[in-house]
Amino acid sequence: MEAPQNYDALVGVLHDRLNTLTRSQRLLAERIMSDPEGVAFMTVSELADAVDVNESTVVRFASSLGLDGYPGLTRLCRQRLQEQAQLLRRLSNLESVVDHDRDPLELATSYDQANLARSASRVDRPSWDGAVQALGNARGVHVMGLRKCFAPAFLLGYLLRLVRDEVAVLGQTPGMLTDELRRVAPGDCFAALSIHRYSTDTVRAFSIAKRRGATTVALTDNPASPLAGDADHVFYLDTTGVSVLRSLTAFTSVVQALATEVAAARGAQARSALLVEEELLDEFGVYTGSDIRRQSP
């Protein structure tokens, strides 16, 4: 096989072979995809210990990918770091720094700046355009994210409903997920959001949507995510946060950007939908001061 020439090509090879790998090989593949920064500077023995396999398994696995042994594998991981080096230097690579003397607000803000910049640098533009088209033009859009990913999933559904019809946020009502999935059909778009530890229901629903012929869009945290294999369009977003807390700032930012581009792409249709929305908000006096004309004297 032709050896991958960069880290993205390496991830592509690993994804293609993931279902045919042995348990030890799969552990190595998942570590390489989820932690290229760590693998870049690990020795063979360190990586073997990290995933609990033999050193010889690591070397054979690297060679089976068409690389010149383990040095070839670490070289691609280091290239990945070099591609982002200028960006990361500007942000002081805060993910590897724990400074207990800094103000918590300042530290959290700095981490989120790094998350946003790194996430933006990983977006594949053709895939982005494809996701915008699917979210804007599909017969129906189904959005799902549970537990910590529920908030950005709900936001995506809410923003899309402002500019188009037939948008549903799944998983809000206990016990109704199977009924909601029954409505997923060919020509629809299914967007799922999940980060480690990945929700079983989200992963299962995403796979079902793919099999039913929907265009699938995944927002997740790394190439080892179980959503990645079933995604037509996938975006890897950084979630590094202060202490044990994981940040979803990058998810919120990307969700808003996607919805904004969908609105722009739909043009007059979006403007018409927003006009109807504003008329209804005014009619029901949803916001303070929005319905002064109907207030009692």
CATH of the domain at 79: 1.10.10.10
Domain match, 244 and 287 both: no
Domain match, 128 and 240 both: yes
Q: What's the token pair of residue 216? A: 């699938």
Domain match, 181 and 213 both: yes
| Burial of residue 259, with CB atoms counted within 10 A of its CB: 0-12 exposed, 13-18 middle, 19 or more buried | buried
Domain match, 187 and 224 both: yes
96 in any annotated domain? no
pLDDT at 134: 97
Domain match, 139 and 258 both: yes
pLDDT at 60: 94
106 in any annotated domain? no
24 in any annotated domain? yes
Domain match, 146 and 232 both: yes
| Residues in CB range of 15: below 8 A, 6 or more apart | 223, 228, 229
Domain match, 37 and 158 both: no
What backbone phi and psi angles, to 5 degrees, belong to 170?
A: -90, 155
Which of 108, 103, 110, 101 is closest to 242 using CA atoms?
108
Which strands form 215-220's sheet, in the order they lie side by side? 167-170, 141-144, 189-193, 215-220, 233-236
93 in any annotated domain? no
Taking the CA atoms of residue 249, residue 139, residue 16 and residue 153 in that order, the dihedral angle to the nearest 10 degrees is 20
From first to last of the 297 residues of the chain, give the pLDDT tens digit: 578 888 888 888 888 888 899 999 999 998 998 888 889 989 999 999 999 999 999 999 999 999 999 999 999 988 877 765 544 554 444 444 444 556 777 778 888 898 899 899 889 999 999 999 999 999 999 999 999 999 999 999 999 999 999 999 999 888 899 999 999 999 999 999 999 888 999 999 999 999 999 999 999 998 888 999 999 999 999 998 765 678 999 999 999 999 999 999 988 888 888 888 888 888 888 888 755 444 444
Domain match, 292 and 185 both: no
Residue entry with tokens 């793919």: 210
pLDDT at 260: 95
Domain match, 253 and 285 both: no
Domain match, 125 and 260 both: yes
Half-sphere exposure of residue 160: CA atoms within 13 angstroms, side-chain side: 29
Residue entry with tokens 């039913």: 212
Q: Is 243 helix (H, G, I), strand (E, B) or coil?
A: coil
290 in any annotated domain? yes
pLDDT at 244: 60
Half-sphere exposure of residue 176: CA atoms within 13 angstroms, side-chain side: 10
CA 108 centroid distance within chain: 20
114 in any annotated domain? no
Number of domains composing the chain? 3
Taking the CA atoms of residue 72, residue 76, residue 77 and residue 78 in that order, the dihedral angle to the nearest 10 degrees is 100
104 in any annotated domain? no
pLDDT at 223: 86
The domain containing residue 71 runs over which residues?
7-83
Rounded distance between C-alpha atoms, residue 42 and residue 111, angstroms? 25
pLDDT at 207: 96
Domain match, 150 and 247 both: yes
Strand pairing class (141-144; 189-193): parallel
105 in any annotated domain? no
pTM, entire model:
0.72
Cis (ω within 30 of 0) for the bond into 197?
Answer: yes
